[in-house]
């Protein structure tokens, strides 16, 4: 087990490089295979990164919470219209578990983990924040949920109008045809996932599996930045391209400033 833990930084960087490559290829033409592959690579990279920064057991708890709550929320959404409004997934995102493509719960974990690290860097100038109090956990989870939802501002219209990954029952919503309820759902579900994970850290601060160098702490920011760049180039409707730059760029640059201070103090 220890040799594998020692290889986590290298594994993380290899998966990150593969994810960025898949994302770049997607910009030339989307296919179900590329969508599934890039999502799996992003998930794997985030799990490896979390295992490195938080330790294997906290990372596994984060993965389980993200996948289980993400799948339940999406299944209830697809079946009953809860959280996000009424919608139906198509076959674009690949095989399903119930009514939900299997990559969707994986993405819930990945995005929530990335937002968790970015929020910590913004507020505390460190990738992890130990064992926070209940009040602190709520505030930090809300900030992270906003960072996740900022990603969705451009991703949702693209997935619906360009990829047709799912079909909304109501097509005249207030956000480029999307319902505003969807963003309430994104906030609520991502908050539940991140707060649920933070609750497991009460009195049990996360401990990195090996010393974290500045380069490895950058991985979640690179993932978020890569997704922002993709939306800025490929976003549809075209207005979402500018929205992505500001909505995702502000937390990204602020977190980068926090990372710079953390690196100087390390």
> pLDDT tens-digit profile of 229-241?
999 999 999 999 9
d(CA 108, CA 110): 6
Whether residue 211 has pLDDT greater than 90 = no
- For residue 163, the SS3 value is coil
How many CA atoms lie within 13 Å of 147's alpha carbon, on the beta-carbon side? 33
Helix, strand, coil share of the chain (percent; to 5): 70, 5, 25
Whether residue 206 has pLDDT greater than 90 = no
* Joined tokens for residue 175: 């956000």
Select from 189, 208, 169 the least CA-distant residue to 80. Answer: 169
d(CA 41, CA 19): 5
81-111 pLDDT, tens digit per residue, is: 888 988 999 999 999 999 999 999 999 999 9
Predicted TM-score (pTM) of this structure: 0.96
Q: 90 — alpha (psi -120 to 50), left (phi > 0) or beta?
A: beta
178-202 pLDDT, tens digit per residue, is: 788 889 999 999 999 999 999 999 8
How many residues are listed for the chain in this entry?
266
Whether residue 161 has pLDDT greater than 60 = yes
HEC per residue, 24-68: HHHCCCCCHHHHHHHHHHHHHHHHHHHHHHHCHHHHHHHHHHHHH
For residue 7, what pLDDT is reported? 86
């Amino acid at each position: 087990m220890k040799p594998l833990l020692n290889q986590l930084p290298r594994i993380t960087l290899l998966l990150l490089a593969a994810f960025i490559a898949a994302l770049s290829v997607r910009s030339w033409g989307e296919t179900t295979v590329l969508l599934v592959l890039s999502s799996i690579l992003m998930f794997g990279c985030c799990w490896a990164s979390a295992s490195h920064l938080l330790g294997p057991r906290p990372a596994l708890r984060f993965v389980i919470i993200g996948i289980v709550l993400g799948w339940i929320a999406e299944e209830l959404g697809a079946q009953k219209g809860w959280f996000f409004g009424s919608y139906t997934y198509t076959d674009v995102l690949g095989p399903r578990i119930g009514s939900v493509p299997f990559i969707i719960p994986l993405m819930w974990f990945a995005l929530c983990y990335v937002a968790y690290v970015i929020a910590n860097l913004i507020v505390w100038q460190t990738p992890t924040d130990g064992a926070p109090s209940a009040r602190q956990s709520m505030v930090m989870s809300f900030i992270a949920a906003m960072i996740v939802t900022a990603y969705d501002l451009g991703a949702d219209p693209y997935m619906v109008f360009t990829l047709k990954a799912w079909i909304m029952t109501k097509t005249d919503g207030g956000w480029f045809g999307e319902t505003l309820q969807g963003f309430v759902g994104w906030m609520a579900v991502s908050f539940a996932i991140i707060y649920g994970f933070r609750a497991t850290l009460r009195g049990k601060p996360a401990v990195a599996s090996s010393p974290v160098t500045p380069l490895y702490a950058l991985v979640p920011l690179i993932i978020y930045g890569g997704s922002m760049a993709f939306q800025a180039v490929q976003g549809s409707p075209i207005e979402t391209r500018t929205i992505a730059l500001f909505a995702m760029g502000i937390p990204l640059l602020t977190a980068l400033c926090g990372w710079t201070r953390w690196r100087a103090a390390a």
